[in-house]
């Protein structure tokens, strides 16, 4: 049976396209506020994840992108999702938001009410999933590291974390429960009940230990 040159070329082209598709790295966008914005800096959690990928010899299999802006709340993410996330056609999006929605309510009266927080978070998940993007949810970690429930926003932070936990279950999104993990870590490593300095520099933003702690948790969820 004779095989034409045209047929051979089509087969080779198909194999080449398949190979290119297989070799395409998984694009992961970390979508959040100043904690994520700092994550791309030296020592930041995204930078540490890239270093972990390199150590394991799989740095070419993942493309990690930070899309964090300081001061952002959940509705800011919704408004810039098209330009900062969808336009890049990611495979995975890690949503790490909620601190400012809670913190700014007490500090400046500009936070986000719980019902609105849930509605915007839901809209973000639905939009991303409609594009075939895998969504990973994160609970907000801390606004103060005291272990006796005396941090001013502990109650609200727990409430908003429960909203995220519920939504991650409803929409079948993997959950990185930073709130739970930070509380457990502080119970073991903060015997003098310090307000900051264990995993954060200022009660909110991550120190080196905190960045590595978050990087380890993120790595387990993102890298398969």
Strands 62-68, 92-96: pairing kind:
unpaired
pLDDT at 115: 97
Strands 26-32 and 92-96: parallel
Q: Is pLDDT above 60 for 21?
A: no
Domain spanning 25-222, CATH architecture: 3-Layer(aba) Sandwich (3.40)
In this prediction, residues 18-47 reach a mean pLDDT of 89
Tokens of 156: 């609200």
- Give yes or no for residue 210 having a pLDDT over 50: yes
Quick one: pLDDT at residue 20? 44
User: What pLDDT is attached to residue 18?
Assistant: 44
Neighbours of 154 (CB within 10 A): 18
Three-state DSSP at 70 gives: coil
* pTM of the shown model: 0.89
First and final CA of the chain: distance in angstroms?
Answer: 45
Cα–Cα distance measured from residue 174 to residue 222, given in angstroms and rounded to the nearest whole number? 9
pLDDT of residue 224: 76
Band the pLDDT of 4: cuts 50, 70, 90.
low
Q: How sure is the predictor about 23, in pLDDT bands with cuts at 50, 70 and 90?
A: confident
Mean pLDDT for 123-135 is 98
User: Is residue 17's pLDDT more than 80?
Assistant: no
Give the dihedral sign, CA 42/45/46/47: positive
The label of the residue with tokens 């200022």 reads 202
**pLDDT at residue 7 tops 90:** no
């Amino acid at each position: 049976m004779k095989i034409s040159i045209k047929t051979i070329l089509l087969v080779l082209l198909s194999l080449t396209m398949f190979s290119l598709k297989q070799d395409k790295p998984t694009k992961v966008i970390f979508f959040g506020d100043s904690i994520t914005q700092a994550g791309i800096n030296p020592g930041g959690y995204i930078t540490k994840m890239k270093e972990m990928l390199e150590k394991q010899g799989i740095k070419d299999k993942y493309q990690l992108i930070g899309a964090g802006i300081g001061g952002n709340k959940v509705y800011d993410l919704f408004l810039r999702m098209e330009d900062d996330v969808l336009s890049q056609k990611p495979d995975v999006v890690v949503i790490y938001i909620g601190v400012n929605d809670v913190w700014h309510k007490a500090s400046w009266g500009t936070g986000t009410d719980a019902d609105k927080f849930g509605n915007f978070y839901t809209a973000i998940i639905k939009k991303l999933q409609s594009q075939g993007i895998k969504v990973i949810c994160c609970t907000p970690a801390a606004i103060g590291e005291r272990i006796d429930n005396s941090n001013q926003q502990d109650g609200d932070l727990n409430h908003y974390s429960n909203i995220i936990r519920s939504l991650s279950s409803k929409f079948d999104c993997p959950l990185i429960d930073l709130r739970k993990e930070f509380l457990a870590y502080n119970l073991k490593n903060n015997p003098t009940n310090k307000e900051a300095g264990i995993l954060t520099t200022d009660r909110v933003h991550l120190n080196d230990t905190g960045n590595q702690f978050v990087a380890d948790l993120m790595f387990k969820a993102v890298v398969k």
